[in-house]
């Protein structure tokens, strides 16, 4: 692959997220994605999302067609220290493979040891976070802060590669801000130390989760490295995924917020890429049934009390945009048992009447309505 694309060449191209449908090429986009020794059946995967990507959510996305699922990010330091709650985040279900566990940190030795523990836990891939813009993470010189320290970033990823036999991947942004777009140079450096694939969120640290997703930045990385490049950012529909794959030439697409309350997006996207046909959206009845199952999976994983707390955000996403959703959300914040959730779900179905069985597109939440670390 050519390494001619540079930061200066892509900063001013101004490519916006394309609008309007592409046609005639969808059937060529569904092909296996090889990440080191791990072969994915197709190129559409679940992004790592803090506060969201626990085992229950990953299982639902995997069941509904995600080629690979990724955990919420895990502190390398806490893993090395043996923190019980952190170690519990490494739990993997046999039915969710292939699965990637994402870690974050700022020390090469800690990251290497954490990667060993991820491998021992049975993960197929270990991913490293260089995209999180949350102040607490930045203060620890981790997340996207490492994009300002390319040598340290390369040292960390190199140490991880040497420490494990499973593929090591990285997810990062375009740069710190629009004046410091260094994703191409950094991607080349990380490829040189043995990283098996790179996921690029086409926004900067200063943009956070809002603002224009620059797919030309993703395309520039694809043109500069020979390892797989996975595009991320602004993917909420099957058509979005098709456009990103065609516009950037990237090897895969990583869905984040588009999967919240909407695990069906993977199966619907795969079907669309294969056939050009859009399957009907799930009905409210479908969404409520999925929310009930999600809650029960969480309860099996973390107990009823914690599950009911963590389900609040998920339930709101499942119900968003439907009649009675605002009132239901007001009740959900006080729900402490599965029975109380079921009563709320029953009420919204009763209020919807026949509308509960009509396909309805999900309403995408504003960034400020989502978990603070949720990206993409």
CA angle 275, 276, 282 (to 5 degrees): 95
The reply to whether 344 and 197 lie within a common domain is no
The predicted structure's pLDDT at residue 372: 44
The reply to whether 189 and 310 lie within a common domain is no
The predicted structure's pLDDT at residue 361: 62
Q: Quote the CA–CA distance of 53 and 51 in Å, as a whole number.
A: 6
Q: Clarify whether 250 is annotated catalytic.
A: no
The last residue of a domain, from among 243, 275, 307: 275
The predicted structure's pLDDT at residue 2: 35
Which residues of the chain are under the pLDDT cut of 70?
1-27, 206, 208-210, 361-376
Q: Is residue 6 part of a domain?
A: no
The predicted structure's pLDDT at residue 373: 45
What's the CATH number where 21 sits?
Answer: 3.20.20.70
The predicted structure's pLDDT at residue 270: 96
Question: Which is catalytic among the residues 70, 132, 250, 308?
Answer: 132
What's the CATH number where 294 sits?
Answer: 1.10.1200
Long-range contacts (CB closer than 8 Å, 24 or more residues apart) made by 59-63 = 59/93, 59/95, 59/96, 59/297, 60/263, 60/290, 60/293, 60/294, 60/297, 61/259, 61/263, 61/266, 62/95, 62/96, 62/99, 63/95, 63/263
Domain containing 290 equals 284-357
The predicted structure's pLDDT at residue 175: 86
- Beta-carbon contacts of 313 under 8 Å, excluding residues fewer than 6 positions away, are 51, 52, 370, 371
Residues 33-49 have pLDDT tens digits of: 999 999 999 999 999 99
């Amino acid at each position: 692959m050519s390494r001619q694309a540079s930061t200066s060449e892509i900063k001013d191209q101004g490519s916006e997220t394309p609008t309007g449908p592409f046609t005639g090429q969808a059937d060529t986009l569904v092909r296996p994605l090889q990440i080191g020794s791990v072969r994915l059946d197709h190129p559409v995967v679940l992004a790592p999302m803090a506060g969201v990507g626990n085992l229950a959510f990953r299982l639902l996305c995997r069941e509904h067609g995600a080629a690979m699922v990724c955990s919420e990010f895990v502190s390398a330091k806490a893993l090395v220290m043996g923190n019980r709650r952190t170690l519990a985040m490494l739990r993997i279900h046999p039915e969710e493979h292939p699965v990637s566990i994402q870690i974050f940190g700022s020390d090469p030795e800690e990251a290497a040891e954490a990667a060993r523990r991820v491998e021992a836990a049975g993960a197929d891939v270990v991913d490293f976070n260089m995209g999180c813009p949350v102040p607490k993470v930045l203060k620890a010189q981790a997340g996207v802060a490492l994009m300002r320290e390319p040598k340290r970033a390369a040292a960390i990823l190199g140490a991880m590669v040497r420490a494990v036999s499973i593929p090591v991947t990285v997810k990062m942004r375009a740069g710190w801000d629009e004046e410091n777009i260094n994703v191409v140079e950094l991607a080349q450096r990380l490829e040189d130390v043995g990283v098996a694939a790179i996921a690029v969120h086409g926004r900067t640290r200063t943009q956070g989760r809002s603002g224009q997703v620059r797919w030309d930045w993703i395309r520039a990385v694809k043109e500069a490295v020979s390892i797989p490049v996975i595009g991320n950012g602004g993917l909420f529909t099957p058509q979005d995924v098709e456009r990103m794959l065609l516009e950037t030439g990237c090897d895969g697409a990583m869905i984040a917020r588009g999967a919240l309350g909407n695990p069906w997006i993977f199966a619907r996207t795969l079907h669309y890429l294969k056939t050009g046909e859009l399957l009907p959206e799930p009905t409210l009845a479908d969404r409520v049934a999925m929310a009930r199952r999600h809650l029960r999976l969480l309860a099996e994983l973390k107990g009823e009390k914690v599950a009911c707390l963590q389900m609040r955000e998920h339930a709101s996403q499942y119900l968003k945009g439907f009649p009675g959703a605002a009132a239901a959300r007001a009740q959900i914040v006080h729900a402490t048992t599965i029975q109380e959730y079921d009563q709320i779900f029953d009420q919204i179905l009763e209020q919807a009447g026949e509308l509960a069985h009509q396909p309805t597109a999900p309403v995408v939440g504003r960034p400020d309505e989502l978990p603070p670390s949720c990206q993409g």
